[in-house]
Amino acid sequence: MRGYAQYCPVAKATEILGDRWTLLIVREMLGGASGFNELQRGLPGISRSVLTDRMRALERAEVIERRTGPKGRTLEYRLTPAGRDLQPVVQAIGEWGATWSFTEPRPEELDPDLLIVWMARHVDRQRLPPNRTVVKFDFRDPKRRYWMVLEPSEVSVCLQHPGFDVDLEVTVDTATLYRVYLGRAELRRRDPSRPADDERPADAATRIRPLVHLERVRRSQAASAAGARTTASRLASPHRVRIDRRVALCEDLLRRAPTHAGALYLPSRSRS
């Protein structure tokens, strides 16, 4: 991007990070992405040419570096110390966004492919049981199916059956699983005697904590989701959102999974 011709650290940093997609690339790399294809999967909508251009710019700015093979082929990208130092910057931007601009999502912002990648990437492997656990996700809207294979050494997502027994099945629509991911809804065990859209609160003993803990912004109870941004703008000192990056498929979820395939469901319209 063009420079600002200002001898100012904010202007200088913006010259490096202000292009479209650049901060999201850094976000993905801070989350563990290191390969070009992996980065592209985590950035739906970016073209290969734009991603290449942004990666080259970040490399010139010494925010990232390439690890190459014997023939010069790029094997992976890594953050430099300057890149890793952006962790609190990205964290602060995320917390600002959650505090001031995080209203209900638009349909086009809900991507099941991206969501399942984020969930897998952020699993806290130290909290997993020692044996392999397989969770099957059936999305209702849009119709997608994934298998998440969880092991202490690795977490992977499969588009085809991985060949292992399924320990837990989760039936959900994309919007609702986003709500679970953000800590706004809870998984609950399915009661076969009730219809799938029965939304009566689950018994506390069968509730399963959210996959991700994101402290809610405390707003007036009278404020609607649509007016959340307006409400926040009127608060002199809103309660700040703090994002816990130690995301986990909680041990509660895995402990409650039976030895054979269990079943969980999320209603289409969960309460917040």
pLDDT tens-digit series, residues 85-137:
999 999 999 889 888 887 888 888 899 988 998 888 888 888 888 899 999 99
pTM over 0.95, yes/no: no
Fold held by 100-265: Nonspecific Lipid-transfer Protein; Chain A (3.30.1050)
SS3 content of the chain, % helix, strand, coil (to 5): 35, 20, 45
How confident is the model over 147-175, as a mean pLDDT? 90
Interatomic CA distance for residues 238 and 259, integer angstroms: 45
CB 53 within 8 A of CB 88: no
Which residues are registered as beta bridge partners of 145?
Answer: 138
CATH number for the region 9-85 comes to 1.10.10.10
Higher per-residue confidence, 182 vs 81: 81
What are the structural domain ranges in the chain? 9-85, 100-265
With helix as H, strand as E and coil as C, how does 125-164 read? HHHCCCCCEEEEEEEECCEEEEEEEEECCEEEEECCCCCC
pLDDT of 194 reads 59
Q: How far is CA 19 from CA 27, 53, 64, 195, in A?
A: 14, 11, 16, 49
- pLDDT tens per residue across span 173-192: 888 888 888 777 776 655 55
Segments of the chain assigned E as strands: 64-68, 74-79, 133-140, 143-151, 154-158, 168-172, 187-189, 207-208, 262-265
- pLDDT tens per residue across span 188-225: 655 556 555 554 433 322 222 333 322 233 233 333 33
* DSSP type of residue 239: P
Interatomic CA distance for residues 272 and 267, integer angstroms: 12
Give the chain's mean pLDDT: 75
Q: Residue 168 CB: number of other CB atoms within 10 A?
A: 23
> 72: which 2 tokens?
């010069």
Interatomic CA distance for residues 61 and 18, integer angstroms: 13
